[in-house]
Amino acid sequence: MRALLWFKQDLRLDDHPALQAGLSAECLLPVYVLDPAQLQASAFGSRRMGVHRARFLLETLAALDGELRQRGSHLLVVQGVAEQLIPQLVAQFQLQQVLTLEEIAPDERAQVARVARRLGAVPLQQAPANNLLRVEELPFNLEQLPHVFSSFRALVEERLQVFQPRHAPERLPALPEGVEAVLQAIPSLSQLGLGEPLSVPASAFPFAGGEPAALGRLRDYLWKTQGVRQYKETRNGLIGTEYSSKFSPWLANGSLSPRRVVAELRRHEAQFKRNDSTYWLWLELLWRDFFRWSLLRHGSALFKAGGLQATISASQQIDQRFQDWCRGCTGMPLVDANMRELAATGFISNRGRQVVASYLINDLQQDWRYGAAWFEEHLIDYDPASNWGNWAYLAGAKRAFNVLRQAREYDPDASYVSLWLPELRDVPQALRHTPFLLGGGQLHNLGYPQLESIPESWRPYLNHVA
C-alpha cells in the first residue's frame, strides 16, 4: 500500500492513530496543506488566523518536520486548497490511500468530504479525532449527549477509563520516489503577508510550537515542578507561567494528545496520590471533550446568533464599543489589561477570558459572535469547540460577572493591570482599578479613556482599597 498521511490539527507523532495505520505502508507521504484563506477576513471582520497563531503553527510544522526527518521521512508543506492539492499529490506519486484524522467542526468536516469526493476510487480513511474519549467509549449515543456538563461528567465517570496511547514510532516508511523535487521550505510569516510579532517580556508563558515543547511542558508541570498539585488553588491566576497547565495551545493544534495528558496524569496520581488539583485538571480535559462532542452534535448552529436555544435572546448589535473592547480602551482596567495582553501575546488566562467575554456581552451589550471571532483570530490556543462553546454558554447564561468585583478578587494589588496598562502606573495603587473616579482632566492627561457610566452593581467595590 502506498499512502498519503494528511496532517491537519494533529501535528504530532505520539498517539496518532492515522500515523499508526500507515506504518505498514510501502511508502508514506506526510503532507500539510496551508490554506491562505485562513488569513482572510471572516464574516465578522476578523481573520480566521492572526499573527500569533500563525507563528505558533509555523514553529509546530518545523518541529514536526524535524521529528519526521529523525525517522527517515519529511513533511511536505503545500499552500492552497486541500481538495485540489491532495488528489494532485495522490495522482502524481501513484498513491493508493489517504490517511487522516476525523474532524468535528462543520467547515473542516465538509472539506474532508470534498477531498474524499475528488479522490474518486482512492479511499480516504479517517482515524478517531483528537478527543479524549472515542465514540465507542461514550456511555450514550451522540444524540443523547447531555445538555449540561455536570450530567456528561457523571455519566462518563461511572466507568473508569484507562488511556493507553501509543508512542511515536522509531522509524517511518520511506517517502515516494521523486518527492524530493516538490519538497520546499516552510514559509515564513513575512512570506504569508504577516509581520513578525514583537517579543513581550510580560508574557504569561514563552510558548514555542511543536511536539517536543508540548511534551516538555507536560513533563515539567506533572513531574518536575509538580505544579499540577496546586492547580485548583492557582488556576484563576493572571500572571506567570505556573498558575495553570498552559497545555491548551498544543492541545489546540494537536501537537499534544489529550489521551497522553491523562495517561501521564494517572501515572502521576499513582505515584503521588490524587488530590483535588489533579482531579480538577481531569475535569478541565472533560470540559474540552464535552464542548467537542457538543460541536459535533449541534454543528453549524453553534456559530449562529440564535442557533442554540440558549442564545436566541442574546444581543446582535455591534457598534464602536466593540472596537474599544478590541483595542483595550473601554475604560475598565481589568478588561483593557486582558485585551492588550491578548493582542500582544495571543494568550490570556481562563479567568481573563470569562471576564472580558462577560463584559462584552452583558455590560456593552454587543454581539457575542464578534467577540468569539476576535478570539479566533488572536488566540494561539484557538479551538472551535471550546472557543465558540464557551462564548455561546456565556451569551445564553442569565448570570453576568461583576467585573469590578472580579478585579478586586483576582488582582487585589492591581499588579496585573499595572503590568499591561503602563499609563496607570503613576496612579495611586488604590485607584488603578477605578481610575474613572479621577477627574476627567487627569484621565485625559494619562491618556486613558473615560468610562461612560458606573454600573450600580459596582458601588460596593468602589472604595475598596486595592
pTM beyond 0.85, yes or no = yes
Asked if 152 and 290 count as a contact pair (C-beta separation under 8 A), the reply is yes
**Mean pLDDT per 10-residue segment, the chain (466 residues):** 97 98 98 94 92 96 98 97 98 98 95 98 97 94 93 92 93 96 93 83 83 98 97 96 96 98 97 98 96 91 68 81 97 98 95 97 95 96 94 84 96 96 94 90 88 92 68
Do 271 and 217 belong together in one domain? Answer: yes
* Cell 524535524, located at residue: 66
145 plus 291 within the same structural domain: yes
144 and 273, same domain (yes or no)? yes
Annotate 180-212 with DSSP letters as a single string: GGT--PPPPTTTTT-PPPPP-TT-S-----SHH
Amino acid present at 465: V
- pLDDT for residue 300: 83
Q: d(Cα 104, Cα 197) in Å, to the nearest integer?
A: 30
**224 and 251: one domain?**
yes
Domain count, the chain: 3
Any domain includes 240? yes
Residues 324 and 271 in one domain: no
Show the domain range for 295. Answer: 131-165+210-300
The pLDDT of residue 312 = 65
pLDDT at residue 311, rounded to an integer: 65
* CA gap 148, 225 in Å, rounded: 34
Q: In what order do the strands lie in the sheet with 76-79?
A: 76-79, 27-34, 2-7, 97-101, 124-127
CATH number, domain with residue 226? 1.25.40.80
Q: How many CB atoms lie within 10 A of CB 12?
A: 26
Write down which residue in 300, 323, 358 finishes a domain. Answer: 300
Domain match, 157 and 237 both: yes
pLDDT value, residue 466: 43
Rounded to whole angstroms, the Cα distance separating 335 from 411 reads 12
> Angle at the Cα of 269 (from 265 to 272), degrees rounded to 5?
130
Distance CA 134, CA 128 (A): 7
Domain match, 384 and 269 both: no
* Pair 311, 305: CB distance under 8 Å: yes
Say whether both 224 and 356 belong to one domain: no
* Same-domain pairing of 68 and 150: no
Last residue of a domain, one of 279, 300, 321: 300
Give the pLDDT of residue 313: 67
Other Cβ atoms within 10 Å of 145 Cβ, number:
17
Instruction: Looking at the structure, tell me whether residues 35 and 122 fall in a common domain.
Output: yes
Kindly state whether residues 363 and 317 are assigned to the same domain: yes
